[in-house]
Structure 1
Amino acid sequence: MDSEKSPATEFISADAHEAKDLIASGYRYLDVRMVEDFNKGHVDVESVFNIAYFIMTPEGRVKNPQFLEQVLSVCSKEDGLIVGCGTGDRSRLATVDLLNADFKHVRNMGGGYRSWHEAGLGVKKEA
């Protein structure tokens, strides 16, 4: 009998309006874009935080080896999280990683920040 966990291959996505409702009910918004992109514009909710899923190195863009550790430094595996990026690609990868690390209440925001912005929901730009 194989005792290893199989990777999460299925997860629940939420569109921008569903994400907004979940955030209003207590979920937090995890933006996994690089800080430069986050600062250009992000979801305007009180419970937003930014931890990059990819980082730039001399070799180019690579997965952030500290991603899970950094997420755990600001929330628990029981917290509700909406994971978003620019278009939904990076956030899908991050969502799977979080689920594989036993986070319990994680949803990918389909379409990412672009879909939130196009839905006319609040956005914020950092100074």
Structure 2
Amino acid sequence: MDSERKDAEVVTIDVYAAKNLLSQGHRYLDVRAEEDYKRGHVETALNIPYYLNTPEGRVKNPEFVDQVLSIYGKEGSIIVGCGTGTRSVLATTDLRNAEFNNVFNMGGGYKAWAGNGFPVNKSDSVES
């Protein structure tokens, strides 16, 4: 039983709580693919994809935790979001397991954020 991995607890918050925390200094980490991020994202969001699109298909970003660490540090106050809230749970779990302690998953993702009329940034063009 000692060899079993126990995932750290992920706390999921709704978009209203996320918006409130962002106004208090938390930072938003968008873990969607770069092309999705460019189509529209939460204002002030930083994009570090959890999955990468490769010629072999979609693969987990092997540098994800290190990339987040280099920008936010383990003590950073981070809200993790994706398109609908599924991928962000996986990303938040990885961060919590890596001892990031002030990390929250945003339930519903960008779809819920934009659907509630909260501010978004959209790029006029998406590069191929």
The TM-score normalised by the length of structure 1 is: 0.91
List aligned pairs for 1:45-56, cutoff 5 A: 46=44, 48-56=45-53
Q: Equivalents in 1 of 2:36, 2:83: separation in Å?
A: 8
* SS, match of residue 7 in structure 1: coil
Q: Equivalents in 1 of 2:55, 2:86: separation in Å?
A: 23
Q: Which residue in 2 is equivalent to 1:14? A: 13
Q: Equivalents in 1 of 2:4, 2:73: separation in Å?
A: 23
List aligned pairs for 1:26-105, cutoff 5 A: 26-44=25-43, 46=44, 48-105=45-102
One-letter amino acid of the structure 2 residue matched with residue 37 of structure 1: D
RMSD: 1.6
One-letter amino acid of the structure 1 residue matched with residue 41 of structure 2: H
Q: Check 1:118–1:79 CA distance in 2 against 1; reply closer, same or farther (3 A cut).
A: same
**Unmatched segments (≥5 aa) in structure 2:** none
Q: Percent identity?
A: 56
Is 1:24 paired with 2:23? yes
Q: Equivalents in 2 of 1:110, 1:3: separation in Å?
A: 31
The TM-score normalised by the length of structure 2 is: 0.91
Q: Equivalents in 2 of 1:4, 1:63: separation in Å?
A: 22
One-letter amino acid of the structure 1 residue matched with residue 40 of structure 2: G
Count of matched residue pairs: 124
